[in-house]
Amino acid sequence: MGFAKEFKEFALKGNVLDLAVGVVIGAAFGAIVKSMVEDIITPLILTPVLKAANLEDIKDLTWGAGVKYGNFISNVLSFLIVAFVLFLVIKGVNAMRKKEVEAPAAPPAPTNEEKLLMEIRDALKAKQ
């Protein structure tokens, strides 16, 4: 098998494509969450704290000789929001899967061997 053909089979496998889609969607989702944290949540929640510290942005919070703990707090908030949203998504998916599993499946059709055994049983009952 040629190198190009082998690479094509690898690159076009379902798992690789699914992973690529997941990475792209994850990056887009990360940008949305970052915007939500920096533009909505941080100003709403931390505005009183920032005003008390005479700051405009949480990233401006420093300690001592330039330790930027405000940037760290901002990143922790972003992580917590992403983790919470992923928890909700996975919880929803698991709930949907439970509903699928709870639906009773039709009993499987008897195999040829089972059909033959049933015929033998019925024939023996008929003789008695």
Tell whether 31 is covered by a domain: no
Residue 44 and residue 48: Cα distance in Å, rounded?
9
**pLDDT value at residue 102:** 67
Tell whether 23 is covered by a domain: no
Tens of pLDDT, residue by residue over 13-26, are 767 777 888 888 88
Domain count, the chain: 1
Tell whether 10 is covered by a domain: no
**pLDDT value at residue 121:** 92
Q: Are the C-beta atoms of residues 70 and 21 closer than 8 Å to each other?
A: no
In SS3 terms, 67-85 reads as: ECHHHHHHHHHHHHHHHHH
pTM exceeds cut of 0.75: no
Residue 76 and residue 101: Cα distance in Å, rounded?
37
Tens of pLDDT, residue by residue over 93-125, are 888 887 766 667 778 888 999 989 899 999 989
**pLDDT value at residue 103:** 65
Tens of pLDDT, residue by residue over 4-15, are 888 877 777 767
Tell whether 11 is covered by a domain: no
**pLDDT value at residue 1:** 64
> Helix, strand, coil % (nearest 5) of the chain?
80, 0, 20
Q: Which DSSP state fits 63? A: B
pLDDT at 61 over 80: no
Tell whether 15 is covered by a domain: no
Amino acid symbol at 97 = R
Average pLDDT value for residue range 63-70:
76
**Cα-to-chain-centroid distance, residue 18:** 13
pLDDT at 82 over 80: no
Tell whether 47 is covered by a domain: yes
Residue 79 and residue 33: Cα distance in Å, rounded?
9
Phi, psi values for residue 93, rounded to 5°: -65, -45
Other beta carbons within 10 angstroms of residue 41's beta carbon come to 15
Domain assignment of residue 115, given as a range: 37-127
